[in-house]
Structure formats: structure tokens, C-alpha cells
Structure 1
Amino acid sequence: MESLIAGTIIGLMGSLHCAVMCGPIALALPVRRSGFWLGHISHQVGKLSTYVLLGALVGTLGAGLSLAGWQQPLSILVGAMLLLGLISKWPTLMKWGPYRRMYTKMQLAFTKKLKDGKPHHFFMTGLINGLLPCGLVYAALLGALGSGTTMNGIVFMAGFGLGTGPVLLIIARSGSYIINALKGRVRYAIPVVVGIMSIFFILRGLGLSIPYVSPGDEMLKTEMVNGEAPSCH
């Protein structure tokens, strides 16, 4: 439950950024044929599915590190990486050739699937949308990595997707007015969200016995419980 709440809060806090970056995509969806709600919800479910899959992958990696006794150092490392990304202004994966080529192919597939307006194509474009480069998603994935278990990683990213969804539905319903009003005013959205996340993970890893924020060292020790590492929340 804690991972779900944490992911949802991160998604809600970063939703203004999502409004500017992904709002145009929401406005571009040709939903007249399928209906507004069916088209947009199908798209959101597709994107959420991608987030959940990515959460499972990074959560599994984090679980392996936790089982090896690296739960506290991992939490501190995640916080440090978030701070490093914040200071370096999130160097984009687009500078990496293979990813740039994959991204171009995703864009072409995205555009092609949007043309006919079929409901299942909205789901497919949502899957693709979840893979598009985004600093906020990178930050959320680091959060899922530090969550301690595969399930926590899944739940964290599910919460993140649910947190970012409402503002996109509002934009799709209200038109471009919100996007135009927010442009130039949300540049601090990611730094604030990422800064809070980094502080949280560093504090949690330090084991300062602060309830819900920084559990004591004994609570953070990794033990085998039903075959998997317990959450350190």
C-alpha cells in the first residue's frame, strides 16, 4: 500500500509536467469514432501497462540487490542518482544512437496506429507512449528500483501512472487552454518532485528511525519472507 501511495503522489506532483509534455498527445487522439471515454481510457490503460511492466523489471533488479544485503545502500544510491540527474539536468537517452533509432520507429508506429481511430489501437499507442523519453518517468523508475521487491516496483509504477492520468483526461476534455496556460510555468515541476524523492530515499537508507520516512536499521535488514525480500517501507 505504501508503494502505491508513494507512486501516486509522485505522479500527481509531476502531473503539471505531464500536462505540457503529453497533453498534445491527448489532444491529438482521434476519438470521435470510438467515443471520448473509450478512446482515452484505452490509451491510458496502454500506458499504465507499460509502466507496470517497467516497474516489474526494475523492481526485480532491486529485489535481487536487497536479497544480497544491499537494501540500505541501494536506497541511498537511488537518492544520489536522482540528485545527480537533477544537477546534470537529466541527460536524455536520445543522445544514445540505438535508443534514438528505436524512438524514431516508435514515433512512426504511433502515428500509423492513430490514423484509423480503432479502440485497440489507442491501447497500442498508449503502450508506445509509455516508452517515450521523459525525465519524470526516469525518476519514477529509480523510485521503483529502490522499492525493494518486484511487487513493490509494479505497484509503485502503477500508482505513478494513475497519478499522471487525471490531468491528461482533463486536458483532453477542455482543449489546449490548460497547456497554453502552463507553458513556461512548469519548468520547476520535475526538480521539485525529484528533489523530494531523492531526500526521501537517502533518509530511508540512513535508517534514522523516523516512522514511515526512515525506518531503523533493524527494520531495514533483509530477511527471507515467503521466498522474497520484505519491503523496507
Structure 2
Amino acid sequence: MPLDIPVLTAAFVAGLLGGLHCAVMCGGIATGFPAMAPGRALGVAWQANLGRVSGYTVAGALAGGLGGGILRLARSDTLALGVRVAAGLALVLLALRLLGRGGRLDLLARPGQQLWQWLRPLHRHLLPADRAWRRLALGALWGWMPCGLSLSLLSVAWLQANALGGALVMAVFGLATLPVMVPLTWSGARIGRGLQRPGLRMALAGFILAAGLLTIAAPWLMQVPALHGVLSALGCIPRH
């Protein structure tokens, strides 16, 4: 499956929109990191959040690689088409949920609960977080905590059906959350409130919806000669 620019852009927009969701759900964790190294709060915030993005990226690579392995074993064009349609549907569902019309995102966190129970003891072994590598590792664990929003994007990463594509989806999503998550102070709150304005939120979620619909429709749109070059440039279809 090619790397889709619309899918990656949708992941970025989801990260921007989801930044405030992350701040609400993980605010206690985020604000706890600076206490680990008083006087170096900003540096600690960057270390923790870069660790979180790294955790997302590794999870995306594993999910995408697993999806690709299934496709290679099946060797089915029909299955490949189904994977593309499923990826598009996942984006459509994510857009609806970000608009508050598709159910609660936290319901998607349930499949990750068991994994987190297995990873949770590692948290204790990384304390006290008095070294940069420990804070990075704690941040990576933070990225693996059950979260409906990140698991929604992880399903898109899995459906990219290759490790690089999955890693990129999750990395782009994670990087887009940084403007809110790193500060969690005056500027972060201002950015978060700005992104929650109804008109802007609807427009950005509408973009994710459009990206999902384009992902679904691309195999049929490529039959239109005038659109073939555009779809190829966007990465929606393989280049031969």
C-alpha cells in the first residue's frame, strides 16, 4: 500500500484536534514530569513528549508491519482493496467522533487495557526519573497507555499495511499534539482553546472526513484519466 499524503495529513489534523483531548485525559501525567527535575521543566517536558511520540511511532511500525504481513500471506488483491476501504472508513469514523457524532473515543481504549496491565510494572522500574533516558522511556510508556484517540489512529496505521507507513502515521499524529502537550501552560491552553472553536473544529474534522472518503474512492477514481496524475502525486495509488 502506498504512503497516502491525505492519510498522513489527516493524522496531523487529528493530532491538532486531539491535543486538547490529550491534555484533558493525560494532563495529570504531563504536569507531573516537571516535578522530576525542578528548574528544568521545559527540557523535561520535551523529553517526556518526545518519548511519547517515539512510543507512538514504534507502535505504528509494529501495527503496520503486522498488517503488511497479513496481506503478503494472503496475496489477495481483493483483500488489499478491502484494507484500503477499511482505512478510509477508520478516518471517517475518527472524523465523526472528533465532531462528537460517532460515539465516545474512550470506548476504543478498552482493547489496550490488557496490554497496559502488562506494561504498567515497567513504570515503577523507571522511577525515580532522574536521568534523561528514564524520562524518555517513561514518555514512551505514556504513548502506550490505553487511549481511544491514539488507538483510532493505530488502526489506521495497521491498515497502511507496511511498517514505514504505520510508523509515519503515528509519528505525524504524535508530533501534531506537541503544541498543546509540551507547554500545558498559557500558550498551550490558548492553542487548545483556539482549536476547539466550533467552526475551525468542524472544518478540520471535515478535512479528515474528506481524506477518508478519498482513500475509499481512489481505486475507482483512478479510472478517470484526468484524475490519475493527481491521485498518483498524492500517493493514493501506486506509481508504476
TM-score by length of 2: 0.67
Q: Distance in 1 between matches of 2:154 and 2:68?
A: 14
| Residues 1:9 and 1:194: Cα distance change in structure 2 (over 3 Å) | closer
Q: Distance in 2 between matches of 1:108 and 1:61?
A: 26
1:26 and 2:26 correspond: no
1:63 and 2:57 correspond: no
- In the alignment, which residue of structure 2 is the partner of 1:72? 81
Provide, for residues 77-116 of structure 1, a one-character-per-residue CA deviation record: whole Å limited to 9, x for no partner: 233355568545343443x6xx545534645543663544
Match of 2:116 among 103, 111, 122: 103
TM-score by length of 1: 0.69
Provide, for residues 125-174 of structure 1, a one-character-per-residue CA deviation record: whole Å limited to 9, x for no partner: 11110111111111211222333532121112111111112211121x44
SS in 1 for 2:182: helix
- In the alignment, which residue of structure 1 is the partner of 2:16? 12
Where structure 1 has 5 or more consecutive residues not aligned to the other structure, the ranges are: 224-233
- In the alignment, which residue of structure 1 is the partner of 2:237? 220
Deviates more, 1:49-58 or 1:112-121: 112-121
Q: Distance in 2 between matches of 1:112 and 1:158?
A: 26
- In the alignment, which residue of structure 1 is the partner of 2:211? 200
Identity among equivalent pairs (%): 24
Q: Distance in 2 between matches of 1:51 and 1:58?
A: 10
Amino acid at match of 2:21: H
Q: Distance in 1 between matches of 2:23 and 2:228?
A: 33
Q: Distance in 2 between matches of 1:127 and 1:159?
A: 15
Using the TM superposition, give the Cα deviation of residue 213 of structure 1 relative to its aligned residue in structure 2, in angstroms: 8.8
Match of 1:89 among 90, 99, 104: 104
Matches within 5 A, 1:185-196: none
- In the alignment, which residue of structure 2 is the partner of 1:147? 160
Deviates more, 1:84-93 or 1:53-62: 84-93
Using the TM superposition, give the Cα deviation of residue 190 of structure 1 relative to its aligned residue in structure 2, in angstroms: 9.9
Q: In the comparison of the two structures, how many residue pairs are matched?
A: 213
Using the TM superposition, give the Cα deviation of residue 124 of structure 1 relative to its aligned residue in structure 2, in angstroms: 1.5
Provide, for residues 31-84 of structure 1, a one-character-per-residue CA deviation record: whole Å limited to 9, x for no partner: 434722332222122212211111112222343438632333212123335556
Match of 1:37 among 39, 42, 52: 42
- In the alignment, which residue of structure 2 is the partner of 1:113? 126
Using the TM superposition, give the Cα deviation of residue 5 of structure 1 relative to its aligned residue in structure 2, in angstroms: 3.9
Using the TM superposition, give the Cα deviation of residue 28 of structure 1 relative to its aligned residue in structure 2, in angstroms: 1.0
Deviates more, 1:36-45 or 1:132-141: 36-45
Cα RMSD after superposing both structures: 4.0
Where structure 2 has 5 or more consecutive residues not aligned to the other structure, the ranges are: none
Q: Distance in 2 between matches of 1:44 and 1:164?
A: 9
SS in 1 for 2:145: coil
